[in-house]
Copies of this chain bind each other. A is one copy, B any other.
Amino acid sequence: MADQIEQRYQTIQFLSDLLHSGQDTEFIESFESLHDFEMAQVYADLPEQFRSVAWRLLSIDILARVFDNLDIDEVDIVKLLQELPPQRGVLVLQEMYADNEADLLQEMPARLVATYLSLMSKSEADTVRKLIDYDEQTAGSLMSTEYLAVEEDLHVDEVMRLVKKQALEAESISYVYVLDLQEHLAGVISLRDLLTHPDDLAVSEITNDRIISVKAGDDQEDVAQIVADYNFLSIPVTDDDNRLLGVITVDDIVDVIDEEAVEDYSGLAAVNVSQINDTPWHSAIKRIPWLIALLVLGMATATLISSYDQLVQQASILAAFISLITGTAGNAGTQALALAVRRIAVGSDNSGWKNFVSEILAGIIVGIATGCSVFVIVAIWKHNSILGLAVGLAMTMAIIVANLAGYLIPVLIDKMGFDPAVASGPFITTLSDLTSVLIYFNVAQLFISHFVGS
């Protein structure tokens, strides 16, 4: 990785030097020889005074490839586009793949979107507007409208001619979609089959009509799961009448899988880990609300403990085990939470009751095993088996409850239609602190006359 960054730095230096010394043709040649991803990286990192020369020199086609490959989460892509005059910017937008174009427009303030749309023809503006309207995180927002489609009743050579003609525009050439006269999606032909069958064969012979497609409103996570399962290179998106609207390519699926993983991971830690390049100030500002919210919940636990003040005064040794019990129950709850969130993510939460019973049983086994360990440790350490019994029993119960909460909360959040990943690990542990303390002091109260003074 370090090598790559060093290499990119050198490329930027080299290209800047070319521009600085007026070697425009050499600049264009060198820039165009880069991979699309590198072009994008280099373009974004060029000093602004050189970038303002660069976009004048580069063709619309190349600029579109640059903008297609900029990472919208890492670069202020709107600002980069605004460095171009709108008349040129709109040409770049139109040359980009429709999904990326829509993503970029979605990042802009409404006024700016209106400016660009006003510079397009009406029909083009309408198409783009439709794409912008799809909710983020749905299939519609990922799809590109540059796909290969043919009518039925053609032969292999006719389709191949069409593929060759459209290959430069299409985002993926791995599949050709077959449409009936009403534009309904009727089947799919793989390029591999086209290449390995004779020219005069009717394509109906190699058309697969058991086609797997998704609806524009489908959740991107479900779409990603299908593409991953079936090893597709792209998947068609249809409307409710099975009319083809666009295709989603596997490179976008790779991004979705990464994005969803980051979301789940962030949820578990109560911090957005996609923003790793924030300044300390911004980074702190984003973490603080979570911590304060959890702090307020934690205050409930503190209040509860202080209400058992008398008990603690009677037996100050009880204080020693507060963090042990809350900590261990919290750990068990986090485990149950992570398993539940994962189960929901991969869609194996269907057999709800079976999972519920299974998780309760696992919680009981974990609770008893851990409780017994604590009993033995405390009984030996403090030479007080009654105290050990109290702590062990409280631990067992606290774990069973925390485990259940860790399982149930994400499941309920999911049933309510939200992303279960919002049930963060810290939330579960802070919540289970409350129940653990409640259990602990109540159990201790039952036993206190036996272990104090024994």
Interface residue ranges, A against B (CB under 8 Å):
1-2, 5, 33-37, 69, 163-164, 167-168, 173-174, 191-192, 195-196, 210, 212, 222, 227-231, 233, 250-251, 253-255, 257-258, 261-262, 264-266, 268-271, 273-274, 276-277, 279-281, 283-285, 287-288, 290-292, 294-295, 298-299, 301-303, 305-306, 309, 312-313, 316-324, 326-328, 330-332, 334-335, 337-339, 341-343, 346-348, 350, 357-363, 365-366, 369-370, 373-374, 377, 381, 399, 425-426, 429-430, 433, 437
In this complex, what residue of B is CB-closest to A434? Answer: B323
Q: When chains A and B are docked, how far (Å) is the Cα of A339 from the Cα of B323?
A: 25
- Known interface pairs A276-B348, A323-B437, A327-B294. Does A334 touch B233 (Cβ–Cβ under 8 Å)? no
A337 CA to B334 CA in the complex, in Å? Answer: 15
Instruction: Judge whether B338 and A273 touch: CB under 8 Å.
Output: yes
Cα distance A255–B369 in the bound complex, in angstroms: 35
A305 to B391, CA, bound (A): 15
**Copies of this chain in its oligomeric complex:** 2
Inside 8 A of A34's CB, which chain B residues have their CB?
Answer: 210
- Check if A229 sits within 8 Å of B323, measured CB to CB: no
Task: Say whether B327 contacts A366, CB under 8 Å.
Answer: no
Interface pairs A-B: 4 shortest CB-CB:
A261-B261, A269-B338, A280-B361, A1-B347
User: When the two chains form their complex, are residues A328 and B254 in contact, meaning their CB atoms are under 8 A apart?
Assistant: no
Q: Which residue of B lies closest to A421 (CB)?
A: B265
Are A339 and B276 closer than 8 Å at their CB atoms? yes
Complex: how many Å from CA A173 to CA B191? 9
A254: which of B212, B257, B303, B339 is its contact (CB, 8 Å)? Answer: B257
B-chain residues with CB within 8 Å of residue A253 when the two chains form the complex: 254
Contact of A323 among B285, B301, B334 (CB under 8 A): B301
Contact A429 B346 (CB under 8 A): no
Pick the contact of A164: B196, B257, B342 (CB < 8 A). Answer: B196
Query: Could you say which of B264, B309, B335 contacts A317, with CB atoms under 8 Å apart?
Result: B309
What chain B residues lie within 8 Å of A271 (beta carbons)? 334-335, 338-339
In the complex, A81 Cα to B396 Cα: how many Å? 43
Say whether B210 contacts A192, CB under 8 Å: no
In angstroms, Cα B2 to Cα A210, docked, is 19
The residue of chain B having its C-beta at the shortest distance from the C-beta of A288 within the complex is B369
Give complex CA distance A163, B369 in Å. 61
Q: Give the chain B neighbours of A346 by CB distance below 8 A.
A: 276
Bound-complex Cα distance A115 to B9 (A): 53
Knowing that A284-B369, A291-B370, A306-B319 touch, tell me 17 more A-B residue pairs with CB under 8 angstroms: A35-B212, A37-B229, A261-B264, A280-B358, A280-B365, A284-B361, A284-B366, A288-B369, A295-B328, A295-B374, A305-B319, A306-B320, A312-B312, A312-B319, A323-B326, A330-B426, A334-B426
